[in-house]
Amino acid sequence: MKLKLNHTEVNFEAGNTIYEVAKANGIDIPVMCFNDDLEHFTSCMICLVKDAGTGKLMPSCTMKAEQGMDIITNDEEVLESRKMALELLLSEHVGDCEAPCRVACPAYMDIPVMNRLLAAEKLEEAWKVVTKDIALPSVLGRICPAPCEGVCKRKPIDGAVSICMLKRYAGDFGSVQEIQSIKPTGKKVAIIGSGIAGLAAARHTAEKGHSVTVFEKADLPGGKLRYDTNDELLPKDVLDKEIGQITALGVSIKPGTEINQEVFKTIQNDFDAVIIASGEITEEQKTWGIRFNEKGFNADKNTYATDLHGVFVVGTALKPGRLAVKMLAQGKEAAFSVDQFLSGLLVVGEPKRFNSRFGKLREMEFDEYLKESLPGNRIEPESGVRSGFTLQEMKVEAARCMHCDCRKPDTCKLRIYADEFDIKQKVDSDRRHLTKKNVQHDYVVFETGKCIKCGICVRMTAKYQEKFGFTFIGRGFDVEIGIPFNKTLHEGLMNVALEVAEACPTGAIARK
């Protein structure tokens, strides 16, 4: 049998859906409520296509293909309809893709994962998670003003989780003993300045396999960390230890090097890329051929690239700033851009992903989120802040984390398609549904606020003959997915819990 897909005639077998015909011909149609293993059931409406003859929109996952159809899958009206369907799903979605603490961190560190690893005393793994985004965790754990703690959902309950102290513990005690070999790219990068932005850029650039040389005008590396920070706050042996971890990656630091116009041109010629992290710009630097303004050098706000080919700028060389974690984050992001540049890719900087956010917890939701954490107020080090946490204090404080992040941050279809369609989520925080966490099962968690009522769990538990399974409860706009007869989650998912979690298109049902 034949029909047209986007003006091209294709063959199909009788009984195929339009979605199946499109898939067989290499045309990707987004689906969320569809599952190959189950009977088709239309609910999400993001698989809409259009009959070119009638102009009618139809769900491709249930509509049978017919002889002579003329189907459009990608015109403006179809794409706009899918976008509207996604916006409707997200308008009732009560869940954060990433925990608020991570979003508030300028370096975007995965704080909840660090907390869970520390609570389990997996110090080396926690260190790896931290240093993926924070080049100097021991240093930053002592000087950061902790914007992440200001948005912690536990703050109004009994005090924010002590994230900075935990990060400091990971840095102090969790370093990897053996430096993993990194395949060299053969590219050379010069970094001018060894303050916090320059050191961060050095670490993350070296980890990508590029040869890194840091030029520093002072006798020792560290910039303001060394020369303008109180020893009581930041002992110099802590700074030296973390600089040592960076040089162990193969980074060469050349102290006592003044950079003038002539030296800068030599560096440009000798290196494949240059990152300027030298602090507030001087009159000498204004002769280097880079456009500048009253605050500092001009650079793209996403990539840190200047108008000079292969030259990037971070830190206070861009504009004055005092937030160390922000300077460090710029160093990391510039390393990402430099890697794109050296790889011959379009330099666009680190990608920004869609992030669902539902705002502050209401008081009646506190107990829901406390289900996955230890009770008790925020812990302060018994021996004082300078000494930091003991092992036991660290484990207890880390276990206070309430697991606000989604368990499917990379596989949730709602997030993936929201990225693809550039969705701007609109949630009425005053009228949103209350969020609930069902943690009664050994292997999975059910968060009702993230459910899109696609019915996959209902159909799957019926197919595999769970005694109770899932069902639709209520009618109309008030319908919910739940376990019938007020049974527990454990009773509802006796046999196929992990399979249901895998099939759920969002983070509503997920592995613990």
pLDDT digits (tens, 9 = 90+) for 347-384: 999 999 999 999 899 999 999 999 999 999 999 999 99
Q: Which domain holds residue 206?
A: 188-342
408 inside domain: no
Shared-domain flag, residues 192 and 309:
yes
| Overall pTM > 0.85 | yes
349 inside domain: no
User: What CATH number did the domain enclosing 473 receive?
Assistant: 3.30.70.20
Shared-domain flag, residues 160 and 212:
no
Instruction: Please name which of 213, 197, 363 lies closest in space to residue 279, comparing C-alpha atoms.
Output: 197
Shared-domain flag, residues 220 and 295:
yes
Q: Tell me the CA distances in angstroms from 94 to 103, 130, 148, 510, one per residue in order.
A: 17, 28, 21, 15
User: What CATH number did the domain enclosing 317 receive?
Assistant: 3.50.50.60
The residues near 152 (Cβ < 8 Å, ≥ 6 apart) are 100, 101, 160, 161, 163
How many structural domains does the chain have? Answer: 4
The predicted structure's pLDDT at residue 317: 94
Shared-domain flag, residues 80 and 218:
no
3-state secondary structure of 194: coil
> To which H or E segment does residue 438 belong?
strand 437-438
Q: What is the mean pLDDT of the chain?
A: 94
Shared-domain flag, residues 393 and 431:
no
* DSSP state, residue 452: -
403 inside domain: no
405 inside domain: no
Shared-domain flag, residues 67 and 153:
no
The predicted structure's pLDDT at residue 176: 77
pLDDT digits (tens, 9 = 90+) for 429-456: 778 888 899 999 999 999 999 999 999 9
Q: For residues 290 and 313, is the Cβ–Cβ distance under 8 A?
A: yes
414 inside domain: no
Which of 276, 309, 342 lies at the terminal end of a domain, its last residue? Answer: 342
Residues of the chain with pLDDT under 70: 177-180
At residue 297, what are phi and psi to the nearest 5 degrees? -65, 150
